[in-house]
Structure formats: structure tokens, C-alpha cells
Amino acid sequence: MPKIREFLTIEQALSHALKDLTDLDLSNTKKKKEAFNTYADPDKHDRNITLRDAIEVDAALMKKSKGHPLLDVYNSILDIQLHGDNKKPKVERTLIAMGERVGKLMGEVEKSMSEESDSGEEISKDEKDKIYKAIKELEEKITSLKEAIK
């Protein structure tokens, strides 16, 4: 008889995810499906899935067009914990800030692809880090806009 897991838990999401995955699908994690079943066991409180493995599980599912249940449950848990504490910014101010972030991202990408950049037309690790930071800042503003219009 299968174990009943609490609703909206990592264990529940992982348990459902594993139904669609094989050991081969999980090969990037260097763990067998059996190890993930242990993580999904609600009675094993000392066993938790690592963030890296959770990403790999969701990535394997996305490759099969099965969604990303661990990311979804993480977002749901976060929304529940922030309920009432998440201040909604003004839409106009958020849009202006988003425009600034888009401009910064475009500038970083343009600089990194220039022949005069550190590694010429190739994008260096430092340039990738700067682009990633600009993307992250833009994503934060997009999230802020989504909250503002809810």
C-alpha cells in the first residue's frame, strides 16, 4: 500500500515525479530512482533531496514534457509563507525599473559579443556572470510586476 504524503510537500511532488522517471532519466544525478524514493518517504525525516538533484529531476521531467512539479511546489510553499507579507509595488514604478534592467541586460550582452571584449566574440566566464546577474535583476522586476497586478 503506497504511503500517503502531505499535500503541497516536496515529498508529494517528488513521489509523483518519480512515476514518470527511470534510472536512465535520472542519470545526471548519479543516483538511482530508489534513492529518490527514499527522499520521497515522509517517514524518513533525516533524508532530504538536494537542490541540485531537485533541479535535475524537474529537468528530466521537462524533457519528457511532464512539467516541473518540484519547482511548482516550491513556489506554492513560498507563496503561502509570504501571504500577507509580500508588499505590492506600484505598477508604473515597476515598469520603469524593468525598462532599466532590460537596458542593462542588452548592454551586457552587446559588450560581451563585441570584438573588443575580454575574449573577443566569445563570451568569457566573467561576461556570462555579468549577463546572468542582469537577467536575475530583470527576473526580480518581472516577479515584482506580476505581484503588482495580482
Model pLDDT for residues 40-99, shown as the tens digit of each residue: 887 777 778 889 999 999 999 989 888 888 988 888 888 778 765 655 556 777 778 788
CA distance 134 to 102: 8
Domain ranges, ordered by start, for the chain:
10-82, 91-149
Predicted structure pTM score: 0.53
* Banded pLDDT at 133 (limits 50, 70, 90): confident
CA distance 23 to 34: 9
Question: What is the percent of the chain with per-residue pLDDT over 90, rounded to a whole number?
Answer: 11
Q: Mean of the pLDDT values across residues 104-109?
A: 86
